[in-house]
Amino acid sequence: MSLDGISDTTYKQIVGIVYRNSRINLGAERHNLVVGRLAKRCRELRLQTFENYCQLLTSGHGKAELTHLIDLISTNHTHFFREEHHFDFVTNTILPEFKANPRNSVETFRCWSAAASSGEEAYSLAITLEEYARRFGRLLWRMQATDISSRVIESAKEGIFETSKLKLPSPALHDIYFQKGIGESAGLSRVRDAQKEKISFYQANLFQETLPFKGDMHLIFCRNVMIYFDTVSQQHLVQKLVSYLRPGGYLIFGTSESLMGINHSLRSLGRSIYKRES
């Protein structure tokens, strides 16, 4: 067998390894994408067949390569203020509710970007929080941001983006929250340290037993990741996310995602926005 094709047995083995370690469910519709990316990786490693690659994954050196494999098959398509109505809901509903409670006058608003990818979602949320503070007064906040891909989370920590791809709600936001690169960095923009220092980035699997931070979140974004899991894994994930959410906190999924068929105690507010009542 060469890299021109992959046997059903080998493909199922690789799919099984990915599922056991990430819960990502590689359905038949992703076969060509996965094989294409694996073929490129095999050539980089100078492996002659997909069977050789499968042997590597199950060898003593497999753990390091497994991390690379998860990076390869994780889809990280995102952009700033994706599904902008969710950020509008934070501004118009969640934060006014938080600020209206006298007990929150000295409390820190705690949030989690649970599938942060290369950082666009986390920084969009950071800008939303900072803009609310600029308009309506002091707001203490801290954010945790995680992604299963070590490659993209390292990129997120850097906070450097192509200026031409920064599609912000208002052009004025760029100079407030970004530094424009010059010289060799021309065409790039870097998130200002004042925002970065309030965000902690971690490489983490949503299904690992413990996460590197505590729960009691006021807000969790977990958007456009549920679609990669089967129903059993979705049920497990929703239960875990709810356990990290404080009573009265909000959980936001991607608009293409649904909790139909999932047992949960959340109240639906529409447009993939849910609230934990108790």
Which residue is listed with tokens 């009573």?
247
Identify the active-site residue in 37, 142, 151, 192.
37
Give the Cα separation of 179 and 161 in Å (integer).
10
230 part of the active site: no
R_g over Cα of the chain: 20
37 part of the active site: yes
Give the Cα separation of 199 and 126 in Å (integer).
8
Residue 60: phi and psi, rounded to 5, are -65, -20
Give the Cα separation of 270 and 274 in Å (integer).
7
Q: Which of 246, 235, 233, 234 is nearest to 275 (CA)?
A: 246
195's CB contacts (< 8 A; 6+ apart) are: 123, 126, 127, 130, 177
Q: Which of 249, 240, 147 is nearest to 200 (CA)?
A: 147
Give the Cα separation of 170 and 157 in Å (integer).
24
Distances (CA, A) of 110 to 124, 142, 216, 262: 15, 5, 8, 26
Identify the active-site residue in 23, 71, 82, 147.
147
Q: Which residues are catalytically annotated? A: 37, 147
